[in-house]
Structure 1
Amino acid sequence: MMAIQPQVLDTLKELAAKELDAVAERLASLNKAFDEANKKLVMLHEYRNSYLEKFDSAVKLGLGAESYINYQNFLHKLDQAIVGQKDSVDYAHRQVLMQREVWQESQRKKLSFEVLSDRADQRMHRQELKQDQKLMDEHAMRHGKFNR
């Protein structure tokens, strides 16, 4: 297996960290858009319910045909707006789910480079210890020959 130089691994770790940051920012932005779309949907439902109560009150008090048709048309337009907003919420939710997968993959990638870097550091440390031990053994052998 070819050993990867520590500088290369450090660069890859930095790039993966930057990518993860960018992906996380995008995910946060999409989450915010999803929340806002949900709030608009709730607001439309509340407005529709309020308008429906107003319509019911007007019907009880006696409502002309033209006003009745206007109320019905407006309620229909509100229903269409609600359907459109539900579509927006669904789209925003799908975007969040897809971006969450991208974020998870970016995290795995960053973690992989960190693990590879840690292993390379450990391997280098073991090699240094072996080299130190070899030098001490050679020194001990030379020192032992001269003392005899």
Structure 2
Amino acid sequence: MATGSIEIIKMLKEIAEKEVNSATEALADAMKVADEAQSKYDMLVEYQKDYGKNLKKSLETGIGAQAYQNFHSFFSKLDQAVKGQLEMLETAKRHVQLQKRHWKESQRKKLSYEVLEQRQDTRQTKQLLKKDQQLMDEFAMRVGRKAQSNIEKR
């Protein structure tokens, strides 16, 4: 490969590294959002359980129709909030999976360029060694000829 090809591979590798960094940040952000959504969901479910226990205690001790209606209305709204938060959690989890796929793809691309770069470096090293060997052989031949020439002159 020509020197231009080497530079292109290095440039593509650098771009791929930037993509990996960007994908890593996006994945971290998505995971943070998912964790927050999970925490909010867990909190709402716990609150829903506690509120249900309070309703049960109130029903056992006796509760007025208006208070029961208020409990029921609030419980219904709380149930809607739990369902809404569950939808947000599921969306956040899907986004995490999407970002994981994107990160893996960008990582794979970066590794591909690294392999190409390593192959090019190996190829270049072999060419240099071959050239060095040719120079050494040529030098040895000259030295040998010169020595032979000196022997013949005596």
TM-score w.r.t. structure 2 length? Answer: 0.91
**1:57 offset after TM fit, Å?**
1.2
- 1:68 maps to what in 2? 68
- 1:22 maps to what in 2? 22
Q: Distance in 2 between matches of 1:49 and 1:95?
A: 29
- 2:137 maps to what in 1? 137
* Sequence identity percentage: 45
TM-score w.r.t. structure 1 length? Answer: 0.95
Query: Aligned with 1:63: secondary structure?
Result: coil
Structure 2 gaps of 5+ residues are 149-154
Structure 1 gaps of 5+ residues are none
Please tell me the residue identity of whatever aligns with 1:51. Answer: Y
**1:140 offset after TM fit, Å?**
1.2
Aligned length in residues: 147
**1:6 offset after TM fit, Å?**
2.1
Q: Distance in 2 between matches of 1:27 and 1:146?
A: 69
Please tell me the residue identity of whatever aligns with 1:113. Answer: Y
Please tell me the residue identity of whatever aligns with 1:62. Answer: G
Structural RMSD (CA):
1.2
**1:59 offset after TM fit, Å?**
1.0
Q: Distance in 2 between matches of 1:10 and 1:87?
A: 44
Instruction: Write the mapping of 1:75-90 to structure 2, written as runs, cut at 5 A.
Output: 75-90=75-90
- 2:57 maps to what in 1? 57
- 1:8 maps to what in 2? 8
Q: Distance in 1 between matches of 2:71 and 2:18?
A: 54
